Structures are given as C-alpha cells and as structure tokens.
Amino acid sequence: MDKHIYLSSPHMGGEEMKYIQEAFDTNWVAPLGKNVEMFEKEMCSYIGRPYAVALSSGTAAIHLGLMCLGVKRDDIVFCSSFTFSGSCNPIAYIGAKPVFIDSDYKSFNMSPEALRKAYEKYPEPAAIVVVNLYGQPAEYDEIKAIAKEHNTPILEDSAESLGASYKGIQTGNFGDISIFSFNGNKIITTSGGGMLMCNDEATYKKIMFWATQAREPFPWYQHNEIGYNYRMSNICAGIGRGQLKVLSDRVAQKRKIHSIYLECFKDNPFIEIEREYEGAEPNFWLTFATLTKNCKATFMDIIQTLAAENVESRPAWKPMHLQPVFADCDFITQLDDKQKKETGYESVCEDIFSRGVCLPSDTKMTEEEVRAVAKIVNKAIYDKQSQR
Ligand SMILES: Cc1ncc(COP(=O)(O)O)c(C=O)c1O
C-alpha cells in the first residue's frame, strides 16, 4: 500500500490544543491544574463512577489499585494469563505472587471455570486482576459471583476497553477498583497516562496520597510511608480532555472497522474474527482474528505478508504464564486431560495465542484501506492453502 497502515495510532480530535494552550496561558504547565481536575470529572461522568484519579500510566494505576485493595508481599493474586505484562508486573512490584488464570473460548478473557479451579488450590487470594482484552468485556456476572463467594476484591483492567459495555454498563464499573490506560495506541490517548476509578472517598484519598509521594499534611515535607510520583501532568490531561470529546466517534469507528473485516472474511473458512458475545458490547479496540486449525498459513505468515505491504499487524499477547520472567508462577488451565488431547494444547490461551493475529484497527483508515488489508490477508491464506 502507498500509505503506511498502523495497528492503532494516536488520532487527535481537534480540541486538544485548546486545552494545552489554556494550560500555557495560565502557566499551569506543571504540576497539576484545571485540566487534570476536569479530565477526572469528565471521566467520572462518562463512566458513571464517583471518583477518578489521573495517573502517569495504566500500570501505575494497577500498582496503586492493588496496594489499596490490601495486596501485600507474598500474597497470592489471581490474574488473567492472556494479557499484556502491564496487568501483572505491578503484582511483582509489591512482592506478591501472581497465579495466572486461563481464558475461555467465549470471551477470550478470564475463564470462570478456571477461576473456580484456582480457588480449590488457593482458597484465599488477596485480589483478582480481570482484564477486558482487545476491548471485549470479561464475563462479569460469573466472575463477580465467584469473587463474592470468596470475598475477594476485583481489580478491573479496562486499559483496552474504554467505551465498551457489559449488560448495558460501561466497563470500568466492574472492579472494586478499575483502571484505564491512555497509552499512545489506546482508543484515546494522552500520549501516556492512566486513570483509576473507585466508589469511595477513603480509597480515592489514599490513592491520591500515594500518587503524590505520600506527603503528610504538615507545613514541611513529612513522610510516614513510601510514596510514588504517579500523577498525570496538566498538559497530558489537556490532551485527554480533547480526546474524550471524540471517544464515542472512535468507538463507532473501531466497531465499523470490525464489521468490515467480518464482512470481508465471511466466506473464508480459515479465519475467524472475534465477535461480541451475548450481553457484551466491545469497543473492538483491536480486531482480533484466529486462524482455524486447518489453515496452512501461520499468524507469522500473515504478519510478514502484511508488513511487506506496508501494513502493521501484531501477534496476540503471549500468555503471561509462558513468559520466562514468570516461569516460577503457577497457572490454572481450563482444560481437562481429554480437552487437552482434543485441542492439542495445554490451555485455551495457548491455543488462541498460537493462532491469533491483531489486524490493523487504526481509526484513521478509510473503508477502502480496511478492505485492502483484508484482501491481502485473504490472498495470503489462499496462497498457502494452495501450496502442497
Ligand atoms: C491490558 C493492559 N493492561 C495494562 C496496560 C498498561 O497500561 P500503560 O501502558 O498505560 O501503563 C496495558 C497497555 O498498555 C494493557 O493493554
């Protein structure tokens, strides 16, 4: 293709500079200021939760969120295995131990069945990190019921799912604490940043305190606890305010891209596009596809063919329990021995990883460009299929 096609790149709405200019005009370039305050308020009204804290990243939000849920050194924390490392690195920052949980084929997110199994082995985890991967909400009815039975708090990692909903409720409402990321490739960006959402003032105040170096209310600098420098800058928050104005357009564009892919691949029996399941309304941040088991093309064939045509795509997240850095962590698979034999895999997320590819889902793509990408993928698949 003449133009380079990105996987998912920043897409400004037009009003971002107005808020940045305002910060410059009032000299509130740093540290905090009106944009931060307003961005938090605007997120609260969009999500429908009373408290929000703007932070330097989604990872920072998970770190402070876990601390606030009471996670301590050597605690067990259940976490989706099929995710990006930002979901679980903060568990390690605290010195707690992740136990990774498999996905199911319905949502590709945490399997309620595997979660139940995990409780048989680890009856008292300190928290559960549940991820809404690629903008697909996890199965909260089941997951929340299981967590409630065992009195375990949930940290909802909505880094990728801003604008998605489950049973009519925005993601970001399902965790005792929920987080978002505004990293450069997300559905809206602040160039880098995150947001933590919660329901009670005590949590909000504690997060704010830790995020600003745990400074005690004394006239001089007094510290009784270790703190962090995790707040978002007023300039980044200005970008976020401008971006929030176009969030609903971006969700509509991502969903449109997904629907075009669905149409383009409907007659190709070797590739399946991830769909919404009943009750879920994903934002389809990335359109995720899996190649069927009888497809001769591998995900790397697709990625390399697209790259040769100037198009960026990406493998699925490699499950965390397969990462060398987490090699000593336990993992709970959803599959029994019979299912392992049938699928040829030890777990659902390994199976999905081995066949998955994230297709370019950049909201700046035209409809023709999405169709052109699909055509390259279809051709790559059929070319391989016709080889002996
Ligand atoms: C699922 C998931 N969790 C956590 C993060 C971490 O967010 P950040 O990059 O803002 O630290 C990301 C993305 O980057 C993510 O995709």
What are the pLDDT digits (tens) for 117-129? 999 999 999 999 9
11 pLDDT tier (thresholds 50, 70, 90): very high
Distance from the alpha carbon of residue 193 to the mean position of ligand 1, in angstroms? 9
Q: How far apart are CA 99 and CA 264, in angstroms?
A: 39
Determine the residue of 181, 228, 239, 318 to mutate for testing ligand 1's pocket, defined as the one with the most ligand atoms within 8 A of the Cβ atom: 181
Q: How far apart are CA 158 and CA 274, in angstroms?
A: 18
pLDDT (0 to 100) of residue 60 = 98
pLDDT (0 to 100) of residue 1 = 86
**pLDDT over threshold 90, residue 32:** no
Distance from the alpha carbon of residue 235 to the mean position of ligand 1, in angstroms? 20
Distance from the alpha carbon of residue 386 to the mean position of ligand 1, in angstroms? 39
* Two structure tokens written together for 21: 């200019």
Distance from the alpha carbon of residue 85 to the mean position of ligand 1, in angstroms? 8
pLDDT (0 to 100) of residue 203 = 97
Q: Is 292 left (phi over 0), alpha (psi -120 to 50) or beta?
A: beta
What architecture is the 16-244 domain classified under in CATH? 3-Layer(aba) Sandwich (3.40)
* Two structure tokens written together for 169: 């409720």
CATH 3.90.1150.10 residue ranges of the chain are 247-386
Which residue owns the Cα nearest ligand 1 atom 3?
A: 87
Distance from the alpha carbon of residue 130 to the mean position of ligand 1, in angstroms? 13
**pLDDT over threshold 90, residue 352:** yes
Determine the residue of 56, 57, 59 to mutate for testing ligand 1's pocket, defined as the one with the most ligand atoms within 8 A of the Cβ atom: 59
Instruction: Encode pLDDT of 245-283 as tens digits.
Output: 999 999 999 999 999 999 999 999 999 999 999 999 999
131 pLDDT tier (thresholds 50, 70, 90): very high
Q: Domain 247-386 classified CATH 3.90.1150.10?
A: yes
Distance from the alpha carbon of residue 59 to the mean position of ligand 1, in angstroms? 6
pLDDT (0 to 100) of residue 31 = 72
CATH 3.40.640.10 residue ranges of the chain are 16-244
Q: Is 92 buried (19+), middle (13-18) or exposed (0-12) by CB count in 10 A?
A: middle
Q: Which atom of ligand 1 is nearest to the CA of 183?
A: 10
Side chain identity at residue 297, one-letter code: A
pLDDT (0 to 100) of residue 29 = 80
Q: Measured at the alpha carbon of residue 132, what is the angle toward residues 127 and 135, in degrees to the nearest 5?
A: 160
* Two structure tokens written together for 123: 């009856």
Which residue owns the Cα nearest ligand 1 atom 14?
A: 183
Q: How far apart are CA 290 and CA 183, in angstroms?
A: 25
Q: Which atom of ligand 1 is nearest to the CA of 83?
A: 1
330 Cβ neighbours under 8 A, 6+ residues apart: 99, 100, 121, 122
List all residues whose CB is within 6 A of at least one atom of ligand 1.
Answer: 57-59, 83-84, 86-87, 131, 157, 159-160, 181, 183, 194
